Structure formats: structure tokens, C-alpha cells
Structure 1
Amino acid sequence: MADTPLDTTIGTSRVTPLRSPLSHVADRLAAATRTSGGAIRLAELPFLAQLNVRLDAKGPAAEAVGLALDLQLPLQPNTVVRAGELTALWLGPDEWLLVGPPGGERDLESRVREAAGDEPVSVIDVSAQRTTLLVTGPHAHDLLAHGCSLDLHPRVFGPGRCAQTTLGRTQVVLVARDEPRAGFWVLVRSTFAGYLADWLLDAATEYI
């Protein structure tokens, strides 16, 4: 579901349900998935916890944070490490994006800061900055290749790889999931999510 069940009452005020950036196209994404006969699957993974972390990769904080999260921060460029429900993406020599289940951003931030202790560390909650599109199916590579200049063949951009790139002229973080059939995550800024969803739906026309 694109909406979370946050419709509740606080005092005398009713809280409006939180809506994801792509809630308005959820039906279109689902329809494209159905009519493609399994060739393409498009869906939004809304509200994932996302933290941008910067620290010295060679310093004690990196090891301490890895132990606290039970996940070693990837040190090889454009690689991904996953442990349980937590995923770490390499964005730069001293920069990572931690992605976890919805609602876990505060706990995750606390664990990182406590593990780093007095060591220099920057932790920024960017959960509201992006949403995530899931693109899977036998033609997922072909679909993304319509608008991405990267070589997305599994031998080159296989499971465990990520990259900051452009897709349909939109800046994204592209992640090849753990197994080939698991497809891709496409992390896109919320303000451009609607445009990118429209682009994907248009590019997927030949498979529908």
C-alpha cells in the first residue's frame, strides 16, 4: 500500500494519513505489472528509513558502527552490503546511505551516533528526501537501459552493485538487488518521483 495507517486522533485534532510521493500512480503501476504478464513489475516501496552517514572509513568509528549494526560498511566503490533488513550503499570514500524498514530512522541514527562515540561522524535523516521504486521481471534490465547509460548486464552491474546515475534524465541511486530475479531499487528524490514513474510506465509500453 502506498499510504500508511496513520489516520488517528491526537487530542481534538485528527492526523491526516501520510501519503507517499507515488500514491497517486499506485494503480497505474499495478496495472502495468498485471498486463505485462510478469515481464515487468513496477511498485513503490514507500517510507523506507534512509540515513546519510559520513565518517573516516579507516578510523575506529567505521568498525564500531559496523559492529553496532551487525553490518560492515562497504569499502569498495559502488557496492552494497546487506544484513537482515538493513542495507548499506557506498556513495563515496567516506559516505554511505543506510536503508532500513519504515519507521526505523530514529533508532538507526541513535545506534550510529552511540557507536561512533567521540569520533567525528555526520548522520542525516534523508528518509523524506527520496522514495524507492522497485523494478523487477525478466525485462527489468531492458526497461532501465532505455534511459540509463550504465551497462546493466548482470556480469557488469550484478547483485551487490549500486551507482549514482541518471535514469530518464533524473538523478537516481540505482541498486542491483541481492539476486538477479530480485531486480532493482531506484531511489529517486520525491519531487521527481512522479515524473520518473511516468517515464517508466511509458518505457514499459512495449512489454505491456
Structure 2
Amino acid sequence: MVNTTANTEVRGLRRSPAAHLWTDFAVGSVAGERGVTLREIPFQTMVGIRVDPSSEAGRRIGTVTGGLPLACGNVTSGPSGLAVLWLGPDEFLAIAPDNGGVDGGILAAALVEALGESSGQVVDLSSNRTTLELAGPSARDVLEKSCAADLHPRAFAPGTAITTEIGKIPVVLWKTGPETFQIFPRASFADHLGRWLLDGMGEFAAAGSPTWH
């Protein structure tokens, strides 16, 4: 039997990689026509998958996730907010919000079962990365200061995800809306990247209205 009380207590003790910057993120966020906001979305479930999507194991895993993306930049959507991002021809990242809809351990176990004895790999990476969300009319301007990828909407439409670098930090970058980007750095880079993005937001903070009071 699962001790739900103990699990709740443990969850309450968690501290995200960028928690110490939350106030700075709020102070540095700006509203308005040229606004940009930055926040951390902590504790999202992340599971790395390596499998040939055309194989029988790939089809079984796709049944669990709602499908696997088949081309660079593609993202598939599954149950309870689950999404799968394409990282390579046989490499994927499954992501689900920490809202009770998907349990990371249960998801990883289901994917391991779906993989079975077939060639491939399933690894729970939930503690390996965190999520920084940059949003607003000037979000792309901030990213373009230190990201070499073409982020113009004609090349990087909403729903697209790529691996790239921001400030020389390797990240997965997912455009979740017309002016919203989720950035997935490794946990050890969360502080550096968070401060880097805040510095890039500085010119807009000087000209706009802060969202934090």
C-alpha cells in the first residue's frame, strides 16, 4: 500500500533548482506592449525515451504517450497534459505538469513495461532538468540575444521544440504559444541561465511596468 501521507510530506520538502530566484524573476518581469515575464515551472515529470518509433516497442510506447513525434521539431500530445518532444530519430522527452495528472514514477514504469525486452531505454529524468518559462511580446527578443536558432514564427511556430543553446548552455526549447517559450536546462545550469535571462530582460524592465509589487 502506498503511504500517501508520507508522499505528500516528501513532496512538500522539495526545493526546485531555481527557487532562490523566484523573487528576482517576479521583480524582473514586465507588463505592457513590450513586456516579458520569467518564471520557473518546478517539478514537471520528464522521462527520456530511446526507441525506434517504427518498431513494435515504439508502437507500444506510443500507445502509452499518445504517440511519438516523427520529425525534428515535432511534439505529440497525450493524456493529462502529457507531451512528447522529438530530440532525435530515436530519442524523445516525455513531459507532464506537476498537477497530479501524471505521476512520474507510474509513467516511467508504464513506459518500461511497454519497452519490455526490446532494444531501447526509458529513464526518469524529472530531477535532471527544470523548466523556465519566458513569455510576453518581448520573449523572442530576449532569447535572440543569445540563441543562434531561427526563432521567427515562420521557422519556429507554436508547438515546435528543438535542442539548442542559450548563452552557451545546452537546452531543449519548446514554443508552447505565440509568445510563450518553455526552456529545459539541466538542473545544475538553472541558476546561471535564470540570471542570464534576467540580464537579457533588463532593457525591457527599464522601459516597462514591473508585474511584481
TM-score by length of 1: 0.87
Give 1:20's match in structure 2, choosing from 13, 16, 21.
16
The Cα RMSD (Å) is 2.0
Which residue of 2 is the match for residue 121 of structure 1? 120
Structure 2 residues not aligned, in runs of 5+:
1-6, 206-213
- Pairing 1:85–2:81 present: yes
Kindly tell me: are residues 207 and 124 of structure 1, through their superposed partners in 2, closer, same or farther at Cα, counting changes over 3 Å? same
Letter in 1 for 2:68: L
Letter in 2 for 1:117: G
Cα deviations across residues 69-121 of structure 1 (Å, max 9, x unaligned)?
A: 3x110011122112341010111111100001237211111221222333223
CA contact (8 A) 1:164 1:172 kept: yes
> Residues 194-205 of structure 1 correspond to what in structure 2 (within 5 A)?
194-205=191-202
- Pairing 1:45–2:61 present: no
Which residue of 1 is the match for residue 71 of structure 2? 76
Q: Matches of 1:152 and 1:100 in 2, distance apart? A: 24
Shift of 1:7: 8.1
The count of corresponding residues between Structure 1 and Structure 2 is 194
Moved over 3 A (4+): 6-9, 35-38
Q: Matches of 1:8 and 1:59 in 2, distance apart? A: 41
Q: Matches of 2:189 and 2:137 in 1, distance apart? A: 26
Q: Matches of 1:190 and 1:8 in 2, distance apart? A: 22
- Pairing 1:65–2:61 present: yes
Q: Matches of 1:44 and 1:73 in 2, distance apart? A: 26
Which residue of 2 is the match for residue 180 of structure 1? 178
Q: Matches of 2:58 and 2:171 in 1, distance apart? A: 26
Q: Matches of 1:165 and 1:131 in 2, distance apart? A: 16
Name which structure has the greater RCO, CA cutoff 8 Å, separation 6+.
2
Kindly tell me: are residues 125 and 7 of structure 1, through their superposed partners in 2, closer, same or farther at Cα, counting changes over 3 Å? closer
Helix, strand or coil for the counterpart of 1:173? strand
CA contact (8 A) 1:174 1:186 kept: yes
Letter in 2 for 1:145: E
Shift of 1:41: 1.2
Letter in 2 for 1:86: L
Which residue of 1 is the match for residue 211 of structure 2? none
Which residue of 2 is the match for residue 99 of structure 1? 95
Counting aligned pairs with the same residue, the percent is 36
